[in-house]
Amino acid sequence: MTPPSAIRRVGVLTGGGDCPGLNAVIRAVTKTAIRMHGIEVIGIEDGFLGLIENRTRPLTFKDVSGILTRGGTVLGSHNKANPSRYCVGHDGHGQPIFRDVTERCIDTCVRNRLDAIIVIGGDGTMACAAPLVRAGVNIIGVPKTIDNDLVGTEITFGFLTAVATATDALDRLHSTADSHHRVMVCEVMGRNAGWIALHSGVASGSDVILLPEIAFDLDVVSDYIRSRMRSGPGFAIVVVAEGAKPAGGHQIIARHDPTSPDPVRLGGIGHLVAQEIEKRTGAETRTTVLGHIQRGGPPIAADRILGTNFGYYALETLMKGGVGRMVVRENNLFTDVDLLFAAGKQRLVPPNHPLIEAARGIGTSFGDHVSSGSRGESAAVVV
């Protein structure tokens, strides 16, 4: 392993899906490396695909100037290129053929004289990086995902912008729901975690919040909506995470992509909930699916700051001798954890999370049989 004093060239890549704040991290990594340590920075294009195909380019001060406010990633990204299980084609029956191309990634590191790589991504990206770490490549991870579901860190950059976007959409749905006396169901992203739904639901004053972590009862939801429509304001807002499921039911899968490291594509629960509400209550109900709107656009100020901090600490962790680490924020302090510990795991919303208790206290329904405002036995546990 290259000692910190001998590090001369560092690669940086953005894995998985795009996310607000990626450019803030790239900018911080590049400027910190050049200005503070005299290290060359090599951008690896389109995530691990660029590492597999040896597609790289130098990053200079000029290359990262003015990108702080931009959404997406100037390096490009790719969410299907897993080095240990890379699709190289299809057989005669149309089934994907996978190969382990880890050695090709190592060869790219050697050819570009990379002493380490800053890998920016979520749990899937860290899982893809794990075999490279085990093979001797020094990788420093930076936690990115709008889902906020990466183990080891209390927050990931991109999440706060996604919440702001979802909250703005829900605010707009409020006014049209009120005008037409309708129920508006809004499906948000998050995969198996309900962080976006929980935070945007509370921030927007949504009446019902349905999370993957709390199985919901459609009868409970419908009774709540019926009561609100008859004796309340005459409209209702329901925010549902894409991974939410009714009690005794399953998540709704929109499609499978066998060539992807994460082949399941969730989607459709919003339409199901809306149909059931209208059928059971008679209230006119509409569905909005925000989809990739939550991933796009410029990062809000908080994510620009968070991304800058993460990028800086990634370089500092490397230069202090960090090997196979992921920078994290815990208790509002920046530190690092073993990357292999975080790889391939998901951080879910605890059912007794303080924000859930606060929402129940003001009368928000989570579609379960816990009365709004009552505290369960586990409520005293703070996570």
CA 276 to CA 246: how far, in whole Å?
Answer: 11
Q: For 75, how many CA atoms within 13 A lie in the half-sphere containing its CB? A: 39
Residue whose C-alpha is closest to residue 158's, from 72, 235, 276: 72
- Residues whose CB falls within 8 Å of the CB of residue 351, separated by 6 or more in sequence, listed in order: 213, 214, 378
CA 54 to CA 112: how far, in whole Å?
Answer: 9
DSSP three-state, residue 182:
coil
Distances (CA, A) of 43 to 60, 146, 258: 10, 23, 28
Inter-helix orientation angle 159-180/301-319, to 10°: 160
Q: Which of 18, 46, 147, 336 is catalytic?
A: 147
Instruction: Report yes or no: 27 and 116 within 8 Å, Cβ to Cβ.
Output: no
Under DSSP, the state recorded for 65 is: T
Q: Which residues pair with 333 in a beta bridge?
A: 330
- Residues whose CB falls within 8 Å of the CB of residue 358, separated by 6 or more in sequence, listed in order: 202
Distances (CA, A) of 4 to 1, 25, 139, 204: 9, 21, 13, 47
CA 305 to CA 128: how far, in whole Å?
Answer: 27
- Token code pair at residue 113: 């004289």
Residue whose C-alpha is closest to residue 23's, from 87, 72, 96, 79: 72
Q: Which residues pair with 255 in a beta bridge?
A: 265
CA angle at residue 115 from 113 to 119, to 5 degrees? 110
Q: Is 147 a catalytic residue?
A: yes
Residues marked as catalytic: 147
